[in-house]
Amino acid sequence: MAKQLSISYTTLERRYYQLASQFLAEPQEHLTPIIVCLDEFALQKGHKYGVNLMDAQSGHIWQVTEGRSREQVRNALMQWPGQA
């Protein structure tokens, strides 16, 4: 994409992160999410990873957690909205 726009990759990346928050879905306060999506991503490839939990219906990212161990994912799921 950077080549097509004739701009540097870092400029494109910076602009993406500036605009991305404007397009995130807002949570619907009165609805408890039903379907959970879990996505793993690299914070520093080969060294540090994280996971995010998202409402599959609205697209709202509810939580981002550093780490990807079973225990860290379990703790993140226990904090999911509507859990006791």
Average pLDDT, the chain: 79
**Could you tell me the maximum CA-CA distance found in the chain, to the nearest angstrom?**
51
In percent, the amount of the chain with pLDDT more than 90 equals: 0
**What are 57's two structure tokens?**
């219906």
Mean of pLDDT values over 37-60: 83
* pLDDT at 68 (0 to 100): 84
Q: With CA atoms as reference, report the closest residue to 53 among 66, 68, 64.
A: 64
Global confidence as pTM: 0.52
